[in-house]
Structure formats: structure tokens, C-alpha cells
Chains A and B, each alone.
Chain A
């Protein structure tokens, strides 16, 4: 089959919002993984929008797990296939949003890494619980206004920094952990392939902007995803065999743009004063120095 005739593995007609970054991410990931895959999905935007009963947008077998256990259900599938002497014949993917990875699903995920199941966990990060109405999460960045960390006279919104989940995952000594972004499709495709080829658990942190929760125009999604990387807010890297001290930054912007460009495009950051922006810029500078650019 030629490249052009390949079947889309995430069918159209799913109910994601117009301009949803997850749609782009999921299409890319599933088409790259191919039809010989089994997926589990935690509760979240992805599950709600793609499996509105009696329909489904998935073209590959899918199990909807509970919010916390997408990774352990995937581990179960992998163990069952191993018992049936079908080890390594099928890609096993477990999908979760940032809530299902950073907070609620973390225990199951950590267990899956520890038991060294051959599963690729993919976290689609839109930086809050968007499905239930934009509640804060440990992935919400400093200064973002959400419904449970609203901006106000005495509040600047979320007052804690974002959890470095991919580094935590990598610290489990797993064969492959990486961050990717929907603005850089070829980079994302490469990382999906590497994650699937890894012998053992792999983790992929995919950055996907959300027009509804971030309060930006639906056509800005890809631009914001690119800006997050160009400003250094989100760093694209990969680490093999848990080697987080010597990770490989896969994309270094030639000249970093000021974070203000990224922040000003989103209404969740609209209340930030120059002081706050300076503070965020300083933190980003420090982080980028750590990554070596």
C-alpha cells in the first residue's frame, strides 16, 4: 500500500473541539503505530470525544480503562500476549491525558515501568483537566488561570511550577522516554517509532494545546505548540536507558523568543503583569541552561 492510500486509524467524526491539539497528536501517533496495535485509554478528553456510544473513532482494538489504570490494563494485555506466545508481535499503547498520567494514573504507570512491561505510555498534555471543566492539575504551569486556581485580586492563578513528568518517568530506568510536541510532526513520528521499538516500557510526553482551556483561537493551536518550543517553555528531548543526566535535546531553537510572545496569545495568562512575566522568563532561562542551550 502506498503512503497516500494508508487508512486513517483515528476516524473522522470524533467530537474533539475545533482546533484540538489532541486530534493532530492522535492521528500522527496512531498512523505511525499502524494497524497492528492494541490501545488502552484512560478517562479524559480523548476517551470522551472518540468513544461516544454507540460509535467509536478508533480503527484499532481499544479498551477504556478507569481514570487511574490505563497503564496497568495495558500491562495486563502485554502479559496475556506473552502467555499466548505472541510476545513482541503487537504494539501495545496506553493513552492518558495529563490528569491520567501526572496525578491520578501515576501509581499504575510507575508500577508498569517497574515491572518492565513492553508497553508504550503516551501522555497527551493539555495542562489541566479539560474534560471536566479546566481544573488545575500538577501539569498546569505557573501563572495559568483555571477554574480551581482562578486569577483574582490576591491570586495569580496556579502558583506552583509544572511537574517534570518525563524526567520522573525516565528515572525509572526505562529504555526510552521522550517529550514531543504537535508543532514538530516529524520529530513526533520519529519518537513514536523509537518508543515502539524499545525493548521494555517507553514513555512519550506529547504537548498538545487546548483552545477551550487555554482560551486561544482555534487556528492558533499549532502556532502555540511551536511557540512553546521556540521560547523554551517546553523542551524537546529524549533519554535512553534512564540516562537523564545525559539526555539528548532533539531540537534547539537557534534564537530563543521571549516567553511573552507565548503567554500573550492565551487568555489564561492575560492577567499576568510584567513582574510575573519576568519571573517566568527567568525560570525558563534557568531551565534552558540546564538543558544546555
Chain B
């Protein structure tokens, strides 16, 4: 975490600075996508609460820095292209 001088009324001049904090460490289950099965309907992208799914040309990929491993994408995927696996440390 960066050192910041506390300004009057706690003004924060760095929009989107929460990216400095990697929430991926919270994860116990890790999502994996089968690119062959993916039909790029982007439901997982819409439903992901953490914005941890990135669109690629023909499928999606996970931003594991921020994925908290909630498993919504696995549950909502209509073609079962996403599976959750136990995170290995």
C-alpha cells in the first residue's frame, strides 16, 4: 500500500486506485476456461462482480489478480466451459 498524506476531508485524487490491492489472494477456488467450448456469449463477463473477466478475440480470460473465486461464472455458463478447481499454492 502506498504512503499517502491525508488531505482535508480525505480527498482521493487517484480514480481506480483500488487496482493496487490484489484481491486474488482471497481465492480458494480458481476458474479455468475451455476455450474450445466457449461460445463467447459473455454472460460471465456481465455477471462477474469483480470485473475479473477479460474479453479476448474468440473467448474470455480470467484476471487472476482480482478474481475472488466466487464461482458465479461457472454456475451461469450455459455451455459449461468454465470449471472451478482448488487453488494450489
Contacts and interface: CB of A to CB of B under 8 A. Distances in A.
A155 interface: no
B19 interface: yes
Contacts of B15: 11, 56, 58-60
A185 interface: yes
B1 A13 contact: no
B46 A12 contact: no
Given A19-B70, A59-B16, A221-B72, A54 B2 contact: yes
B6 to A, nearest CB: 8
A23 B14 contact: no
Interface in B8-49: 10, 12, 14-23, 26-27, 46-49
Contact of A27 (B12, B18, B49, B71): B49
Given A18-B49, A218-B71, 4 more contacts: A11-B18, A12-B52, A56-B17, A219-B71
Given A18-B26, A18-B69, A223-B75, A13 B10 contact: no
15 contacts: A11-B15, A11-B17, A11-B18, A12-B18, A12-B52, A20-B49, A21-B49, A24-B49, A27-B48, A53-B6, A219-B72, A221-B49, A221-B70, A222-B72, A223-B75
Interface of B is mostly: loop
A16 B55 contact: no
B63 interface: yes
Given A60-B15, A221-B70, A27 B51 contact: yes
A24 B47 contact: yes
B22 to A, nearest CB: 7
A66 interface: no
B50 interface: yes
Nearest to B17: A55
B71 to A, nearest CB: 3
A13 B2 contact: no
B79 interface: no
A14 interface: yes
A55 B47 contact: no
A52 B20 CA distance: 12
B16 A57 contact: yes
**A-B pairs, 8 with minimum CB distance:** A23-B49, A219-B71, A19-B70, A54-B4, A11-B16, A13-B18, A18-B68, A12-B66
- The winner among B2, B14, B19 for most chain A CB atoms within 10 A is B19
A50 interface: yes
Interface residues of A, number: 40
Nearest to A217: B71
A228 to B, nearest CB: 15
Nearest to B5: A54
Contacts of A54: 1-2, 4, 6, 12, 14, 17
Given A12-B66, A18-B68, A185 B22 contact: no
A12 B54 CA distance: 12
B23 A15 contact: yes
A100 to B, nearest CB: 19
Contacts of B18: 11-15, 50, 52, 55-57
B1 to A, nearest CB: 7
A110 interface: no
A260 interface: no
B61 interface: no
